[in-house]
Chains A and B, each alone.
Chain A
């Protein structure tokens, strides 16, 4: 059931999809900043795990990104990452980390085929709800 909605500009979506393709076969990860719930800019991050099955923000890079957002009165609105062999749906590990990561939205890309798969979710107390994603 789609009870909430997320809107993203086409250029941001294209940037996220390109990042996922570039880092394949490893997972990519990053942040989309926002202001008053509206996406403002994309920060492509290093996956410190460099792994096809998991991601972790590099802690030094994450501090720099967080500072940049905080100084500009923006918020970490969306965390995005890719799955390289499975569908664009939150894994059990994603759900575990969602409890403390502090992001309102989880954007998932799958690079398992040549076809682009991009889906958005809100994860609250371990419950995954897919959002209607509008690309403007």
Chain B
């Protein structure tokens, strides 16, 4: 099972400059763990020390924000696509 993960410019330092990489996982959590085993350190930019999705990133499964799906428990299947973007906000 292989899922394409699209990586934003700001995180491409972890993927050797690649815009998209492959990873495996039955859930988003599993996918991020797998991603970190190939691209060490990327997990820390996506998940907080407490184990929650970082508020500074948006992650989409098939174009749907995972905050409206099941967050890190969102199930994945072969052929799904995952996109990571920086969240953008200010005051």
Task: Name A residues whose Cβ lies closer than 8 Å to a Cβ of B.
Answer: 29, 49, 53-57, 59-60, 62-63, 66, 70, 75-76, 79, 81, 90-94, 97-103
Contacts and interface: CB of A to CB of B under 8 A. Distances in A.
A102 B8 CA distance: 9
Contacts of A98: 90
18 contacts: A55-B90, A55-B91, A57-B89, A59-B60, A59-B87, A60-B63, A60-B65, A62-B85, A62-B88, A63-B58, A63-B65, A66-B85, A79-B90, A92-B91, A94-B90, A101-B86, A101-B89, A103-B88
Interface string B9-40: 11000000001000000000000000000000
Contact of A56 (B9, B19, B87): B87
A97 B56 contact: yes
B89 to A, nearest CB: 4
A102 B90 contact: no
Interface in B21-76: 45, 56-58, 60, 63, 65, 67
**Chain B CB within 10 Å, residue with most, of A57, A81, A98:** A57
B2 interface: no
Given A59-B65, A66-B85, A100 B90 contact: no
A97 B91 CA distance: 9
A81 B90 contact: yes
